[in-house]
Amino acid sequence: MITRPLFITLAVLIFLSCGTKKPGPYRKIAGATQGTTYHFTYEDKENLDIKSSVDSILKIFDLTFSAYIPNSIVTRINHNDSTVVLNDMFIELFNKSLEINKETHGALDLTVGPLVNAWGFGPEKRVQIDSARIDSLLQYVGMQKVRIVGRKLIKDLPGIKIDVNSIAQGYSVDVMYRYFENLGINNFMVEIGGEVRTKGKNPKGEIWRIGVDKPVEGESVPGQNLQTIIYLDNKAITTSGNYRKYFEENGRKYSHIIDPHTGYPYKNSLLSVTVIAKDALTADGYDTPLMVLGLEGAMAVLKHHPELEAYMIYSDENGQYKVEYTKGIQFSDPN
């Protein structure tokens, strides 16, 4: 059982838009996974009872990626268990991470685990941080220091630890999306910890609408303070932000988002980045590194990836919320 959040839970509230044409009866199921919750809504013409199957799939996912489960694949890798055999889930996520690592100039890096732990955002207790400790940990960071050979993950140094927080929750959405597709369901929404992917129409027969929260520090109720509503047509949407998972020390705020290049929590004007992509693995893989790169760096990456859409909230020099977004995104005022 996971006792602390494996993945970052960011607020995305699911809305049903107004309409008159109903495609058919819908069912909703919900539960707990990855230290957060899931909510699935699907057209149910066959009166399917899939709750137990869903929970079984999500359990396999946890047994692959959770750093809080002693016998998970990630935990065993981090403990240098040479008998670990990688499954298809891990290999797919790893290969996608390698791709995004190159496209974001190393801003996404699965080997950031030692730094995440040191800052207290992993399964280990936070330690006293100074420049010497950070320098000592940076030797274990770098995607070029790990590789897959057959079904084994080879690490150049035993101190390397894998952390998938920045991408795995989105991937879990895709895993469940494929499950619903395999059932032959054409209209559904998969949401896990605020990461969402949709297909077809909502129960009102309209395109799904997804509400994105304002990045208000300490705001714990999803949907209480919405920034915008985004229209999602057969795509995925994920968000990375600095406003829910952080700690303060000596009057300074430290975000959970670690810059792999410096070893320190990122520091720039971006408060949250929402990415829309064809799948949630891609969207979730890009939202955190875009945060790390900052507004200018994020825009440069997005310029080279027209297949991605992004909605970015940042703070100007006066501390006021500002928004930058790509031209293809569709959204509306929540009011």
> So what's the pLDDT on residue 3?
32
pLDDT at 163: 97
Give the C-alpha separation, 10 to 216, whole Å. Answer: 12
32: Cβ contacts below 8 Å, ≥ 6 apart:
38
Dist CA 86 CA 88 (whole Å) = 7
Secondary-structure percent of the chain, ordered helix, strand, coil, rounded to 5: 30, 25, 45
> How remote is the C-alpha of 26 from its chain's centroid?
27
Which residues make Cβ contacts (< 8 Å) with residue 253, sequence separation at least 6? 242, 246, 247
At residue 13, the pLDDT reads 47
| pLDDT, position 8 | 35
In order of 9, 15, 116, 220, 270, the CA distances from 248 in angstroms are: 19, 34, 16, 17, 18
- Encoded tokens for 328: 């293809």
Please answer whether residues 167 and 285 qualify as being in contact, where contact means their C-beta atoms are separated by less than 8 angstroms.
yes
**pLDDT given for residue 9 in this prediction:** 38
Task: For tokens 């559904």, name the residue.
Answer: 188
Residue-level pLDDT at 16? 41
Global pTM?
0.90
**Phi, psi (5° rounding) for residue 193?**
55, 30
Burial 33-46 (b: 16+ CB within 10 A, else e): bbbbebbbbbbbee
Architecture of 67-155 per CATH? Orthogonal Bundle (1.10)
Q: What is the pLDDT of residue 251?
A: 66
SS3 state at 32: strand
Give the residue from 167, 115, 170, 113 showing the smallest Cα distance to 288: 167
Main-chain phi, psi angles of 280, to 5 degrees: -75, -25
Average pLDDT, consecutive stretches of 10 residues, N- to C-terminus, the chain (335 residues): 36 42 80 94 92 97 96 98 98 98 98 95 87 97 98 98 97 98 97 96 95 74 76 96 70 83 94 97 98 97 97 91 94 81
**Residue boundaries of the structural domains of the chain:** 67-155
Q: What is the pLDDT of residue 22?
A: 53
Q: Three-class SS of residue 39?
A: strand
